[in-house]
Structure 1
Amino acid sequence: MNACALELAGERVLLLAQKALYWPAARTLMVADIHFGKAASFRALGVPVPRGTTSENLAALDALLGGYDIARIVFLGDFLHAKAAQAPATLQAMLAWRRRHAHLELLLVRGNHDVRAGDPSALLDITLVDEPFRCGPFALCHHPGLAGEAYVIAGHVHPVYQLRSGRESLRLPCFVVGARRAILPAFGAFTGGHALIPEDTDRLYLVAEELIFPIEIR
């Protein structure tokens, strides 16, 4: 299946195989750690990494916009990777995408990379907020460790889970859903992953290609 439906803080949400969360009642898509311009940042340092990751990220957003009724996208931090991500070519690609989706509300909950990279261009018409940002029963954050009364939805960690079968192993991105917080996998096309040790109340939902599925970790 390409989506898992579950209830968080009394609200029905969908965990999507495209590594995003969709909140139907609010027509809101949430993505974490898209890291626009990360490849450009590495190339600026002389590291020969592939081009086209910005276009890949935008195409992934387009696919979701074509499949769901979305009025708002919330970026849960690390929208830009570094100051070098403000490169003209990266900005022009993002502006062309924004013009095609001028009706969309875009909101960025600033993350640690955003602080270093600086705010995105005002031409992108993105509302900028600091964490935690209250939205209905949720506290939308970049860092998952923030405590409070609201249910936290966050990113930052880039969680992956290592499947093992004999001598074979495979690292897959995953959603980590706990009693007080949910952590989204990194959405960006050029991001690594961190093998998270689940807490006792956590449920994991692994992403493999176009599939998402829960896994028993006890």
Structure 2
Amino acid sequence: MSAGTPFQFLDQDLLLLPQKAIYWQQEKALLAADVHFGKVGHFRKAGIAIPRNMEQDDLAVLSDLIHEYRPEKLIFLGDLFHSDMNNDWDWFVLWRSQFPRLQIVLIKGNHDIISDNHYTNLGITLHKELTMGPFLMLHHPLPDPEVKAEGGYVLCGHIHPGVSLVGRGRQSVTLPCFAFGKNQAILPSFGKFTGKVAILSRKADKVFGVLKDKVIAIG
């Protein structure tokens, strides 16, 4: 398993992982945003040919992280399942059965439209927002990042952030990134089948680009 990049922030020890998740040491919590399980099934149902194993790959990565870091909590920052129920849900139910003692929390996102009962039957706790330590867990970023949220420093997802790097030969690459601003941090999308967008960071931001096997500080 690839090593993460330690980042001490607000007196908390965070490990930024190249699997595009965060391990929060004080809370023994693993955080991931925008997994979008079921997106493959959604597209295949519409007749678009997508490899079936992409969903299982994301579940396998989650399993590897759980076995390595042994978190007590797994917190999804929204968009856990891409759309309505499809055959990929069965894979998720099977995966959940392998970790019956793991506390799983879902901060509901705009794509999380499956009935709450399906989640609660799997022992998954649902929230619109959740304050934990110095952090406020949301799905959507703050509408005005210059205004601090009452619940604390925001950890969120939704926009699938990336950062564009330009080389000496003017070649460019866009990397998924963790973007820490003044009042909020936006996590990269965990799911492989999600895409990414380029963002502009303010001078005060701390941006960490995600490579295949490491996370690097960019600004």
Using structure 2 for the length normalisation, give the TM-score.
0.91
Where 1:112 maps in the other structure, the secondary structure is coil
RMSD: 1.6
Question: How much has 1:49 moved relative to structure 2?
Answer: 1.7
Matched with 2:131 is: 134
Taking only the aligned residue pairs, the percentage that are identical comes to 37
Consecutive unaligned residues in structure 1, runs of 5 or more: none
Q: 2:196 aligns with which of 174, 193, 196?
A: 193
Distance 2:70 2:64 in 1: 12
Where 1:81 maps in the other structure, the secondary structure is coil
CA deviation string 1:122-156 (max 9, x = no partner): 3322101102x111111001112164130111111
Contact 2:5 2:214 in 1 (8 A): no
Mapping of residues 19-168 of structure 1, within 5 Å? 19-83=20-84, 86-87=85-86, 89-114=87-112, 116-119=113-116, 120-131=118-129, 133-145=130-142, 147-149=148-150, 150-165=152-167, 166-168=169-171
Contact 2:181 2:204 in 1 (8 A): yes
2:134 maps to amino acid? P
Distance 1:210 1:123 in 2: 35
Distance 2:9 2:136 in 1: 12
CA deviation string 1:161-217 (max 9, x = no partner): 12211232211111001221111100002111111111231111111111111013x
- Count residues with an aligned counterpart: 211
Where 2:125 maps in the other structure, the secondary structure is strand
Distance 1:111 1:209 in 2: 27
Distance 1:124 1:74 in 2: 14
Runs of 4 or more above 4 Å deviation: none
Distance 1:153 1:141 in 2: 6
